[in-house]
Amino acid sequence: MNNRFSEVSTELLSCIACLDPKSSFSQFNVQKLLRLADLYPEDFSSNDYLYLESQLRNYIYNVQRDPQFSEVGDLGSLAQQMVKTGKNTVFPFVYRLIQLALVLPVATASVERVFSAMNIVKTDLRNKMGDEWMNDCLVVYIEKDIFATIENEQILQRFQRMKTRRMQLPPLRYSSATTTNTSSVNQ
């Protein structure tokens, strides 16, 4: 694992593993979960952090004795069970840690996807591309499924309306009526 992930990433994964509900929360470790909160300073204020340790101790005592949590096998099910039993409001900081752990794979995958797309969009020919133009190109490339549903004519017309241009942009395709009128004029 050390070859694949950085030291911080390995520590993060180790801390998240402490939330695993398997085997009656056998991996639970208050110190590692406090360290996990340290890794997210934007999500835990200094006041939150003061209450977190006692909340973690009360939480583990509570859920290990609650039969509703004995069959929970993964983090997603744990979050659902906490909401179902109302423990998300009793232990809001613990619930926040669980939410952060659940969001991490999505956030990481999104970042990796952007860097992968950047390698495709920013070629040697486009090496001097500005940040704003690069960002626009990446959005279009990454969200190509969404952009495929938009007609090119709509994009052209919106671009035309953005500011006054010296000349009108030509339409991308001609309707059958326009084609018929043009053919009769040419004859």
Task: Give 124-166 as a 3 state SS string.
Answer: HHHCCCCHHHHHHHHHHHHCHHHHCCCCHHHHHHHHHHHCCCC
Q: What is the distance between the alpha carbons of residues 52 and 92, in angstroms, rounded to a whole number?
A: 9
Q: What is the distance between the alpha carbons of residues 42 and 23, in angstroms, rounded to a whole number?
A: 32
Mean pLDDT of the chain, nearest integer: 78
pLDDT at 136: 79
Q: Is this prediction's pTM over 0.85?
A: no
DSSP assignment of 52-106:
HHHHHHHHHHHHHH-GGGTT--SHHHHHHHHHHHTHHHHSHHHHHHHHHHHHHHH
88-100 tens-digit pLDDT: 999 999 999 999 8
121-153 tens-digit pLDDT: 766 666 666 777 777 777 788 788 888 888 888
In whole angstroms, how large is the CA radius of gyration of the chain?
A: 27
pLDDT at 173: 62
